Amino acid sequence: MKKSVVVLVAAFVMVLTGCVTTGPGGKKSFVIIPVSQELAIGQGMAAQVGTSEKALADTAWQSYLVEVGRKVVRVCDRQDIEYHFTVIESDQVNAFAAPGGYVYFYTGLLREMDNEAEMAAVMAHEISHVVARHGVKRLQAALGATLAYELVFGGDKGGEALKAAVYVGLGLAFAGYSRDAEREADDFGIQYMVKAGYDPNGAIGMFEKLAALGSGSSSIFEQLSSSHPETSERIENARKEISEINPRPKNLTLGRDRYQKMVKRLPAKAPKK
């Protein structure tokens, strides 16, 4: 082999190995946008969300969400980033995660829940998207080769590629992921919530609620109705996965009493105009 070819191949291998990241369950996958850029994109998106949405002015609720979030983070497969959790005051029935570990819950969704395990189910699902870097993968595909290249190899003078990534990322935040990504987030979500000490039936309760809401509501978490797998299929998969948890940890909790106290503190739903 000629020397130049060897150098080229070596460089290519270096790039490849540099981009293999670890997802849920230690599974390796290929993402070219580096973590440093993922964090910058996440920060940019969080700054935008901070100006367009209103954080709930109840520190007890904000700390409650952080507490449940940290329980799940502690058992998840991604510890290289800092996670952030925010309750947004809005009647939208929604929750989403931005790249880099920014997780948002809307009061409209929290109001629909009965217990902490249901909140943990959504939390674990969103954290699984962050662990698997689904948001970054989706963004990478949407940005196209040129912008992705600038983000990866520098040359992003004036931060234009980063600005574009934040803008595109915000547009995608509510667009839903592929069905495979959703299945993966559901699967690992159940494992994480159980490891964090929650009764996985919280996930079933949540899916059933979303199914009931789906027919009449246009704003469902990550637009579940349009791109998520059919709810009946999700429930079936969840039941199967729950039945296979062996040994089943003792003392799994639904956390209903505390949640019921907290839910009473949420602001009332705005009357329909």
Binding site for Zn ion (CB under 5 A): 182, 185, 222
Q: Are 90 and 108 in contact (CB under 8 A)?
A: yes
CB within 8 A of 63, min separation 6: which ones?
A: none
Complex with Zn ion: residue 147 or 185, whichever CB lies closer = 185
Which three-class secondary structure state does DSSP give residue 22? strand
The answer to whether 263 and 56 have CB atoms below 8 angstroms apart is: no
Smallest distance, Zn ion to C-beta of residue 192, A: 13
> Least distance in Å: CB of 134 to Zn ion?
8
3-state secondary structure of 103: strand
Which CB atom, from 179 or from 248, has the smaller least distance to Zn ion? 179
Residue nearer to Zn ion on the CB measure, 128 or 147: 128
Minimum CB separation from Zn ion for residue 45, in Å? 16
The residue (of 58 and 187) whose beta carbon lies closer to Zn ion is 187
Burial 56-74 (b: 16+ CB within 10 A, else e): bebeebeebbbebbebbbe
CA torsion sign for 43, 182, 196, 92 is positive
Closest approach, Cβ 253 to Zn ion, in A, equals: 24
Residue 126 beta carbon to Zn ion: minimum distance, rounded to whole angstroms: 7
Task: Tell me the C-alpha distance between 82 and 4, whole Å.
Answer: 41
* Cβ nearer to Zn ion, comparing 38 with 156: 38
Least distance to Zn ion from the beta carbon of 129, Å? 6
Dmax over Cα atoms in the chain, in whole Å?
73
Q: What is the 3-state secondary structure (H, E, C) of 43-93?
A: HHHHHHHHHHCCECCCHHHHHHHHHHHHHHHHHCCCCCCCCEEEEECCCCC
The residue among 31 and 206 lying less far from Zn ion, judged by its C-beta, is 206
Taking the complex as a whole, the smallest distance from the CB of residue 236 to Zn ion amounts, in Å, to 17
- Apex CA 178: angle with CA 239 and CA 13, to 5°? 115
Closest to Zn ion by CB, 49 or 220: 220
- Report helix, strand or coil for 266: coil
Q: What tokens does 266 get?
A: 């949420």
